[in-house]
């Protein structure tokens, strides 16, 4: 990989909301009557952040790195996968300057949980809480997210080369 001073990365994810699963977003279990469906814990925000980091490094995406055909990642804690990817970022000679993210959910309300998500994610990524932005959006009742059938997340990250 070339050694630019800055590298930017964009991540996106979506998971279906289904009964009989815990709802885990941003490493936090959120009380709700449904949860996100996936091979791992289906943490949509953490997956978007992972893909933004891998994207910044122009590497394979999360599905290639942690395939859903691999039993090691069944019900995996996505925070462990994120830690793993942050280790790759550092091994490539970068640190994270800042992250900006959106959680797009019609229900439940994400806003009350955002400070706690930042408390979980910032130390894991060598960031202070002021360097990670997480915004809660709805889909204005439009499409699958608006009909409470799914939750989406987006993340953008700026990496800076360690001198």
CB nearer to Zn ion: pick between 132 and 151: 151
CB nearer to Zn ion: pick between 115 and 143: 143
Decide: is 21 part of the binding site for Zn ion (CB under 5 A). Answer: no
Question: Which among 7-15, 84-92, 136-144, 152-160 is the span making contact with Zn ion, rule CB under 5 A?
Answer: 7-15
Give least dist CB 15 to Zn ion, A.
6
Question: Which among 12-20, 92-100, 130-138, 143-151 is the span making contact with Zn ion, rule CB under 5 A?
Answer: 12-20
Give least dist CB 42 to Zn ion, A.
6
- Polymer length of the chain: 163
Decide: is 13 part of the binding site for Zn ion (CB under 5 A). Answer: yes
Name the packing angle between helices 78-91 and 114-124 (round to 10°): 40
Contact (CB, 8 A) for 157 and 31: no
Decide: is 47 part of the binding site for Zn ion (CB under 5 A). Answer: yes
What tokens appear for 98 in the block? 């800042």
Q: Give the CA angle between residues 85, 86, 90 to the nearest 5°.
A: 120
d(CA 118, CA 111): 12
């Amino acid at each position: 990989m070339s050694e630019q001073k800055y590298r930017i990365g964009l991540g996106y994810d979506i998971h279906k909301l289904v009964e009989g699963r815990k709802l885990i977003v941003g490493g936090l279990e959120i009380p709700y009557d449904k949860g996100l469906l996936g091979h791992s814990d289906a943490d949509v925000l953490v997956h978007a952040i992972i893909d933004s980091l891998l994207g910044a490094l122009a590497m394979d995406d999360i599905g290639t790195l942690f395939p859903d055909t691999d039993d090691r990642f069944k019900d995996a804690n996505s925070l462990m996968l994120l830690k793993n990817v942050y280790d790759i970022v550092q091994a490539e000679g970068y640190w994270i300057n800042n992250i900006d993210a959106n959680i797009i959910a019609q229900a439940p309300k994400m806003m009350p949980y955002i400070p706690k998500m930042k408390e979980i994610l910032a130390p894991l990524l060598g960031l202070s809480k002021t360097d990670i932005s997480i915004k809660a959006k709805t889909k204005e009742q439009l499409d699958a997210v608006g009909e409470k059938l799914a939750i989406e997340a987006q993340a953008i990250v700026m990496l800076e080369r360690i001198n």
